[in-house]
């Protein structure tokens, strides 16, 4: 894989596919760069000076640096030496932002490291100086916070004990969405079926040539390794009949399964639970075309296979969707900041969609995003739809918690929710305990 990456010489550079968004920070206008491939850690902030802006417009792999300098000279009336663009190109290449030989080699090296690793290493949480104990303590404190805020789940939840067979959980960072994670995982632990294996359908934020991407690697977490149920994954692959591993490298840096793995390991401790990690495409092309996912052969085959596995193994297998909902504001390409009126509007629209989730009506859910061409940038349509279609007719759905996280500058709002899917016909409440004296 990655043996035939197209690259361009630095004399005619090309910017590689990156997420480039204008942002404000401390009153300054900046450009934020995110890397869908994960080679650039976190987000990079750049000053939007004229040289950079011209470069971003013209770095197409065909334009000479001298032509860029000439264009800026003509636009400003000042002589701009080509050396200024040469220095910029060197800096951007060192930062792995260009479609260059340096980027191609870095990508191939990252791929080799991932494929040779016996586990999928944790990446969201990094131990300073490899001090895992310190990191475990900090995460432990964070998890306790999830249970102690006004948004945390109550001591008793209106769910049937032994009835929760699937949940939707966020994949936003714990700092912003921790309490909503707590709702989902409390539902699984205290009201779940006692599953031995959790099939995790995470959202992939990168282009993929397949709708569903699995790995047989165990996921490492700060609390220890959570093993992959390879035998059950083999069963699923056989039922599916398609390629589940063609884009396996996507697991290397995608956080959406990792955050579920960490929460699973922390929630169930040293119990011998297992996981099946699968990344799911957004289905955005189907949304834009107005085509039901069940009309896509790959989607239909996978959902049929997943239903077969759940029916065959019953209470021993549960399903988790690692999903977020709306992404609104200037950082996501919207002109309108997330002021109070807009925040309420987003909530109303999200809750309308969540009504379709509760009704287990995946077609109405999907159609709602087709109507406005996914104007709120819902990133997890594929994973949500797959969970809904799989559970339709075999569960009842209940919204447990809905939250939004809005940045101080009101430029970045993400919404997320916890939803529980329970066996039909079961009454909420704890089972009565019989004590023999």
- CATH number (domain holding residue 247): 3.40.830.10
Distance separating alpha carbons of residues 314 and 300, to the nearest angstrom: 21
User: Are 134 and 72 contained in the same domain?
Assistant: no
Q: Where are the beta strands (DSSP E) in 144-189?
A: 164-169
Contact 392, 360 (CB under 8 A): yes
Question: Buried (b) or exposed (e) across 237-250, using 16+ Cβ within 10 A?
Answer: bebbeeebeebbbb
Distance separating alpha carbons of residues 38 and 124, to the nearest angstrom: 11
User: Are 156 and 89 contained in the same domain?
Assistant: no
- Label each residue of 327-386 as H, E or C: EECHHHCCCCCCCHHHHHHHHHHHHHHHHHHHCCCHHHHHHHHHHCCCCCCCCCHHHHHH
Distance of CA 112 to the CA centre of its chain: 23
Residue 46 host element (H or E): strand 43-46
User: Are 78 and 147 contained in the same domain?
Assistant: no
Q: Cβ neighbours of residue 20 under 8 Å, at least 6 residues apart?
A: 31, 32, 33, 56
Mean pLDDT, range 111-129, rounded to an integer: 83
Alpha-carbon distance values, 228 to 120, 185, 194 (Å): 10, 19, 17
Boundary residue ending a domain (50, 77, 112) = 112
User: What pLDDT is stored for residue 134 in this prediction?
Assistant: 85
State percent of the chain over pLDDT 90. 80
Residue 125 in 3-state DSSP? coil
Identify the weakest region by mean pLDDT among 129-138, 154-163, 304-313, 399-408.
129-138
Q: pLDDT grade, residue 30 (50/70/90)?
A: confident
Whether 6 is covered by a domain: the verdict is no
Domain region containing 332? 120-422
Asked whether residue 437 carries a pLDDT value surpassing 80, the answer given is no
Q: Where are the beta strands (DSSP E) in 123-253?
A: 164-169, 197-203, 212-214, 218-221, 224-226
Whether 398 is covered by a domain: the verdict is yes
Cα-Cα-Cα-Cα dihedral sign, residues 48, 49, 54, 59: negative
Domain count along the chain: 2
Q: pLDDT grade, residue 129 (50/70/90)?
A: low
Q: Highest-confidence range of 52-61, 141-150, 298-307, by mean pLDDT?
A: 298-307
Whether 245 is covered by a domain: the verdict is yes
Which of left, alpha, beta for 96 (phi over 0: left; psi -120 to 50: alpha)? left
Whether 10 is covered by a domain: the verdict is no
* Structure tokens, 317: 């297998």
Asked whether residue 366 carries a pLDDT value surpassing 90, the answer given is yes
Distance separating alpha carbons of residues 146 and 288, to the nearest angstrom: 37
Residue 121 host element (H or E): none
User: Are 100 and 130 contained in the same domain?
Assistant: no
User: Are 287 and 161 contained in the same domain?
Assistant: yes
User: Are 129 and 187 contained in the same domain?
Assistant: yes
Mean pLDDT, range 3-14, rounded to an integer: 92
Contact 406, 343 (CB under 8 A): yes
Whether 274 is covered by a domain: the verdict is yes
Nearest 5°: the CA angle 419, 295, 242 is 85
Boundary residue ending a domain (65, 80, 112) = 112
Asked whether residue 1 carries a pLDDT value surpassing 80, the answer given is no
Q: pLDDT grade, residue 430 (50/70/90)?
A: low
Asked whether residue 431 carries a pLDDT value surpassing 60, the answer given is no
Asked whether residue 27 carries a pLDDT value surpassing 90, the answer given is no
Whether 392 is covered by a domain: the verdict is yes
User: Are 134 and 87 contained in the same domain?
Assistant: no
User: What pLDDT is stored for residue 132 in this prediction?
Assistant: 80
Whether 353 is covered by a domain: the verdict is yes
Q: Cβ neighbours of residue 115 under 8 Å, at least 6 residues apart?
A: 248, 249
User: Are 213 and 280 contained in the same domain?
Assistant: yes
User: Are 79 and 209 contained in the same domain?
Assistant: no
Mean predicted lDDT score pLDDT of the chain: 93
Whole-prediction pTM: 0.89
User: What pLDDT is stored for residue 206 in this prediction?
Assistant: 87
User: Are 213 and 246 contained in the same domain?
Assistant: yes
User: What pLDDT is stored for residue 436 in this prediction?
Assistant: 47
Residue 148 host element (H or E): none
Asked whether residue 303 carries a pLDDT value surpassing 70, the answer given is yes
Boundary residue ending a domain (95, 112, 129) = 112
Residue reference for tokens 């500058």: 409
Q: pLDDT grade, residue 432 (50/70/90)?
A: very low
Whether 435 is covered by a domain: the verdict is no
Alpha-carbon distance values, 29 to 43, 47, 144, 334, 409 (Å): 15, 8, 37, 16, 12
Phi, psi (deg, nearest 5) at residue 15: -70, 130
Condensed to tens digits (0 to 9), the pLDDT of residues 172-217 reads 999 999 999 999 999 999 999 999 999 999 999 988 999 999 999 9
């Amino acid at each position: 894989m990655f043996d035939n990456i197209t690259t361009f010489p630095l004399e005619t550079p090309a910017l590689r596919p990156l997420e480039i968004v204008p942002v404000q920070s401390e009153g300054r206008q900046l450009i934020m760069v995110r890397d869908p491939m994960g080679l650039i850690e976190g987000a990079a902030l750049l000053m939007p000076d004229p040289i950079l802006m011209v470069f971003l417009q013209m770095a197409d792999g065909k334009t000479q640096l001298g032509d860029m300098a000439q264009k800026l000279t003509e636009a400003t009336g000042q002589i701009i030496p080509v050396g200024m663009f040469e220095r910029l190109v060197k800096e951007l290449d060192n930062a792995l932002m260009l479609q260059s030989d340096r980027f191609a080699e870095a990508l191939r090296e990252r791929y080799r490291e991932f494929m040779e690793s016996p586990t999928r290493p944790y990446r969201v949480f990094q131990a300073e100086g490899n001090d895992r104990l310190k990191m475990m303590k900090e995460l432990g404190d964070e998890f306790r916070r999830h249970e102690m805020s006004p948004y945390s789940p109550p001591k008793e939840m209106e769910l049937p004990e032994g009835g929760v067979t699937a949940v939707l959980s966020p994949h936003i960072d714990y700092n912003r969405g921790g309490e909503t994670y707590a709702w989902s995982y409390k539902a699984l632990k205290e009201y779940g079926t006692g599953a031995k294996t959790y099939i995790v359908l995470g959202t992939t934020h990168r282009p993929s040539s397949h709708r569903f991407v699995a790995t047989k690697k165990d996921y490492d977490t700060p609390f220890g390794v959570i093993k992959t149920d390879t035998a059950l994954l083999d069963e699923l692959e056989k039922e599916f009949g398609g390629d589940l591993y063609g884009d396996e490298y996507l697991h290397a840096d995608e956080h959406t399964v990792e955050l579920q793995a960490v929460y699973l390991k922390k929630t169930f401790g040293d119990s011998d639970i297992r996981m099946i990690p699968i990344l799911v495409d957004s289905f955005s092309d189907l949304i834009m075309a107005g085509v039901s996912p069940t009309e896509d052969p790959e989607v239909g085959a996978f959902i049929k296979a997943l239903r077969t596995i759940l029916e065959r193994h019953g209470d021993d297998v549960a399903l988790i969707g690692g999903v977020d909902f709306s992404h609104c504001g200037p950082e996501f390409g919207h002109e309108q900041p997330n002021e109070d009126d807009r925040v309420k509007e987003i909530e109303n629209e999200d809750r309308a969609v969540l009504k379709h989730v509760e009704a287990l009506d995946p077609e109405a859910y999907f159609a709602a995003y087709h109507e406005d061409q996914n104007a709120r940038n819902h990133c997890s349509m594929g994973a949500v739809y797959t969970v809904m279609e799989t559970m339709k007719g075999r569960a009842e759905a209940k919204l447990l918690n809905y939250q939004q996280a809005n940045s101080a500058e009101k430029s970045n709002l993400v919404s997320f929710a916890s939803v529980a899917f329970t066996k039909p016909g079961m009454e909420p409440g704890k089972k009565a305990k019989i004590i023999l004296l």
